[in-house]
Every structure is written in C-alpha cells, then in structure tokens.
Amino acid sequence: MVKFTQSQYLFFTCFSHLHLYTNAKLHLLTCFCVFLYTVKSYAQSDSIAIGRVLYMQEVNIPNPEILATNGLTTLLFNTSCSVFIHNGVSSGDSLIKNAEYLFPIKVSGDKEGFPIYKLHTQRTMFCKIDCRQSSQDCIVRDTFGTISWQLQPERRRFGPYECRRATGEFRGRTYEAWYAVEIPVPSGPYKLGGLPGLILEARSLDDRVKFLFAGIDISDKIQDRINPPRNGKNLNMTYREFIEGELEFCKNFEKEARARGSRTTVTLTERIELTNE
C-alpha cells in the first residue's frame, strides 16, 4: 500500500473531482492545490534539532551588510532539514559610519538572524535576505545540494571526528570543505551541503569566506526547533530571479534619479555569491 503524506492526499482528492469543473475553475483549483502543496512543503513541520554546530563566520568582503553578519553562527540539524542562523546579527536596523562612504550606511538587522532553511530531500532551501525590492526582508527559494564536489584524500580531525576534504565551486567561488562521514547529514554552513557527511568547516580558496568550526552538540536533549524563516516577504522567486529583480530595481532607481537631474549610478555591492547561476 502506498502511503500518502497529508499534502499529497489533498492534491489527490482535489484531482478526483476535477471533471466537475469548467476550465477556468479547473485552473483556479489547480493553482490553489499547488499553492497548498507549496505552502505545506515550505512550512515543513517545525522539527526538533538533534544536533547543533557552531561556526565562526569570517567574511572579508567590502559590503557592510555582509560584514555585520560576521561572528558566531549556528547550524541546527536533523536528518530531514537544517537551518543556518547568523547569531551576530542585531535584531533591528542600525546606521553605521564607514570611512569609505560619505553618508552613513543602513545595515539591516533581523530577529531571526537571516536564516537559511534547508530541506534535504526536496533539495530546496529558503533564505531570508535583506532586499531593495521590498520594505521587508525577502524570502527567496534556492536549490540545495547542486555543488559538484571533488572528494579529496586529505583527512583532519575535529574532536572525535575524522573529517575528509572536498572541494567544489559554488557561485563564483571555490570552497574547501571538511566533512564528517560519521554524521550522515548532507548539510553545512551557509548554503553549502550535499556531501556524504556534515560539513564542520569550510572556506573559500581565495580566503575571503570562512566558516570555522567552533563547536558541536549532538543529543536527544536539544530542544531547539528548526524553524523556516517567517517574518519576511516570500517572493516565491529563485535566487537568480531575485538577483535579476534587484538589478532591475537599481536600474529603475538610476533612471528616476537621472530624470530628477541627479547623476546617480547604483551598483550592487559584492556578496558571498559572485554569480547567480
């Protein structure tokens, strides 16, 4: 007997009555069912974590918003999902002085810590990002586990775990990751993952991006919940569409500024991901 999950059952039930509706209503119902399925799959049950990895994020990029996320980060995980949280992010927006800029820079804060929520089986992740297209932070859908890792022979020990090395290219940067096969969870810091073990430390080969191992807890007694990002605008876009939307927003801003007589050029500052493929 094939066992349906709750969301699949809903979809199946809706489909069994489709023949009673006109085309327009059929389209509407299909959208509704797809929407419900998407909501259900996105709002995966708030799971309890069985492990927690602490990383010290050190990103050396001239982008004040990225620099503000540096510091301690946490990855909560279980077998089916995980969430990466920036603990060092302030809960509210703040203005900072920067010697490189004439005017102060607004740096966004987030109570949830700009989480990156990963669903291991669906190979999907939902990332909360500060964006210009919306007054709220944006929740963007991305694919997970698509890095083509080359498994290397080097080994290194992190506590009781003997980790192996892998290298792979992700959106313009080549990363080196140390993963523990004894922890069979295909996740890691930031958007990295897809290895046959949990990534305990990762860094880019240009040394600009580092996630240094700071600690790990694995226990049944961890009561932390793996929550998807909540307070933000779900753009229902892929990362590529999101970046294109940001560029479009900046171009429109430039045009409006020039129409008002101001010679303005807007460029997006460098991010951890250099490309959007």
Partner 1 sequence: MARVIPILCFVILTTTCLPSQVIFSGHLYDLTGNPVFLATVIVTDCKDNQIIAFANSDEQGAYRVSFLTDCDSIAITVRALGYQEQVRQLALHRDSVEQDFRLNTAALPEVTIRAQLAPIVQHRDTTEYNVASFTDSTEFSVEDILKKLPGIRVAENGTISFNGKPVERVLLDGDDLTGSQYTIVTRNVRADMISRVQAIERYQENPLLSAVDNSDRVVLNLKIKDDKRRQLSGSVTCGPGYGQEMKGSVHTNLFSLTERNKTYLIGNFNNVGENPVGSVANFSGDNLIRRNAGQNLQARLINTRSPVALPRLSSLPLPDAYTRLNRTGLLFIGQVAPLSSFFKIKASGWLTRDRLEQQTSAETTFRTLNTSFQIGEDQLSVLNPRQYTVQLESTYLPSNQRHALRSFARLHYEPGHALLTLNRSATDVPLLQISQRVTASPLDWMAAAEYTFSRTSHTVWQITGRLAGYHNPARLYAQYPVYPSFFSLDTSFIHLDQPVDLYQNRGIINGKLWSTRWNTRWKLEAGLDWELNNLEAIAHLENGLGEQRPTGAGFENLIRLQAPTFYGRWSADRSWRRLRMFAEIKGFCMPARWQTASPTVHRTTLQGIEPLVLFEYDFNEKNTISTGYRSRMERSPCINMH
Contact residues: partner 1, CB under 8 A: 50, 54, 56, 67, 70-71, 78-80, 92-97, 102-106, 111, 120-121, 151, 153, 158-160, 164, 181-186, 195-197, 212-221
The residue among 164 and 191 lying less far from partner 1, judged by its C-beta, is 164
Q: How far is the CB of 165 from partner 1 (least distance, A)?
A: 11
Kindly state the smallest distance separating residue 166's Cβ from partner 1, in Å. Answer: 9
Work out whether strand 233-238 and strand 138-143 pair parallel, antiparallel, or are unpaired. Answer: parallel
Residue placing its CB nearer to partner 1 in the complex, 9 or 32: 9
Helix or strand run (H / E) with residue 15: helix 6-16
* Residue in this structure with the two tokens 């996105």, named with its chain if needed: 42
- Please say which residue, 93 or 277, places its beta carbon nearer to partner 1: 93
Kindly state the smallest distance separating residue 199's Cβ from partner 1, in Å. Answer: 13
Proportion of the chain in helix, strand, coil states, percent, rounded to 5: 20, 35, 45
256 is written with which tokens? 């409006």
Measured from the CB atom, the residue of 121 and 236 that comes closer to partner 1 is 121
* Token pair of 36 as six digits: 């419900």
In the complex with partner 1, which residue's Cβ is closer, 162 or 277? 162
The smaller minimum CB distance to partner 1, of residues 174 and 219, is found at 219
Least distance CB 243 / partner 1 (angstroms): 25
Which residues make Cβ contacts (< 8 Å) with residue 215, sequence separation at least 6? 53, 54
* Backbone torsions φ then ψ of 55, nearest 5 degrees: -125, 150
Which contacts qualify for 89-93: CB closer than 8 Å, 24 or more apart?
89/113, 89/114
Tell me the closest approach of the beta carbon of residue 64 to partner 1, in angstroms: 9
Minimum distance from residue 32 beta carbon to partner 1 (Å): 25
Could you give phi then psi for residue 231, rounded to 5 degrees? -75, 85
C-alpha atoms less than 13 angstroms from C-alpha of 143 in its C-beta half-sphere: 9
